[in-house]
Amino acid sequence: MNRKPKWIIYGIGLLLLLGGCMDNEDSQEVTGPYKDTFVRVQDYQGEGYVLRNGEEADKIAEEKSDEVQKAVKDFFMEKYKTDAKVHNIVGNVDGATVFVESTGPVHFYTTAIVPIDLSDKVVLEDRVTSLDGDIESAIQGGLYHLIFEDEFHKLDQYLGKIASEYAVAGKTKEALQNVGGAGYMTPYYYLSTPPDDKAMQSVYEAYLNNPDTPVEELKSLFSKADFAAEDYNFTIQLYMENENEEPDKELFTKLQQDIKSMNSIPKGNYSVIINDNLINEKADDGIKDNSLQLTFPDSIVKK
């Protein structure tokens, strides 16, 4: 069974929500109002991020920040039994997109959408929602990390070593908090999972029934028979440390070779991206014409 098309569609939806305002995200020569908004990735903390046509709602959301935050925290606790820390509120065309981070052992970043009546400047606290499947996917990514923590630790160790030996950097922790929203994330990579994955279904249900379910019990509920590595997408994204340096082709090749040979890292579908040093602060995007990319359909599947 080929699950890829369904997952690509979901990924596109997530990118539309979190894609910011770049008129041409894949071009180094960005046109439009945000062509000169590139900053060093080391300096980027998510400040300046905007969504199309969100100016009016952004002002109202800032004025009513307490109401927006309470609505989001209540939403996560009531629907997902998860305590959520609000990091950033960004106006969108119909309300506010709220970037949150979970505070428990199941760690993830995600977003919620709070509608706002712009004419009456009223926060519609009882209508909080999200992009279809977004939060479910984020929680499942956090659960996947929790039950395969040793494998994730090996991946973290490897990428930390790469960063220390080569002149590359990841995103700042502040950027992940303020504009991340893509599930389980570290400065060097993020994990995207299908929101309705059968392998994780029993694990996810156990978490919702009791967020304090022991890790060993969660591990026993994970269905290896239903697991498809192609659906668990790891995107490794690095930035050159020096501002005027082109992406390192030798490192790009090494990363691919190493990932193919390593058996101790999490099973999944690995993409590799190396950008130059600059990231567009309005769109939280560093991919440009000179970026080196290994992505679907050429990504590396670790089964």
**Cα(288)–Cα(115) distance, rounded to whole angstroms?**
33
Query: Does the bond joining 297 to the residue before it have cis omega, within 30 degrees of 0?
Result: yes
Place of tokens 């770049």: 22
- Confidence (pLDDT) at 13: 40
- Quick: pLDDT tens for 70-110: 999 999 999 999 999 999 999 999 999 999 999 989 999 99
Looking at per-residue pLDDT, the higher value among 295 and 37 belongs to 295
Quick one: pLDDT band at residue 292, thresholds 50, 70, 90?
A: very high
Contact indicator for 278, 246 with CB cutoff of 8 Å = no
> Crossing angle of helices 65-80/55-63, nearest 10°?
90
Quick one: pLDDT band at residue 19, thresholds 50, 70, 90?
A: very low
- Quick: pLDDT tens for 191-224: 999 988 999 999 999 999 999 999 999 999 999 9
Q: Report whether pLDDT(141) > 90.
A: yes
Q: Report whether pLDDT(31) > 80.
A: no
User: What percent of the chain stands above pLDDT 90?
Assistant: 85
Residue 173, both tokens: 């922790």
Which residues face 270 on adjacent strands? 234, 300
> Crossing angle of helices 249-261/149-165, nearest 10°?
160
**Cα(44)–Cα(78) distance, rounded to whole angstroms?**
33
Q: What angle do CA 69, 75, 79 make, to 5 degrees?
A: 160
User: Cα 215 from chain centroid?
Assistant: 23
Quick one: pLDDT band at residue 2, thresholds 50, 70, 90?
A: very low
- Confidence (pLDDT) at 35: 55
Place of tokens 């999490």: 266
Quick one: pLDDT band at residue 36, thresholds 50, 70, 90?
A: low
Report, in angstroms and rounded to the nearest whole number, the Rg of the chain calculated over CA atoms.
19
Which of 5-14, 70-79, 114-123, 277-286 has the weakest average pLDDT? 5-14
Place of tokens 């082109």: 246
Kindly report the average pLDDT of the chain as a whole number: 90
Looking at per-residue pLDDT, the higher value among 234 and 6 belongs to 234
| pTM greater than 0.85 (yes/no) | yes
Please state the rounded mean pLDDT for residues 13-23.
Answer: 43
- Confidence (pLDDT) at 48: 87
- Confidence (pLDDT) at 37: 84
- Confidence (pLDDT) at 10: 40
- Confidence (pLDDT) at 25: 37
Residue ranges covered by each domain of the chain: 4-48+131-302
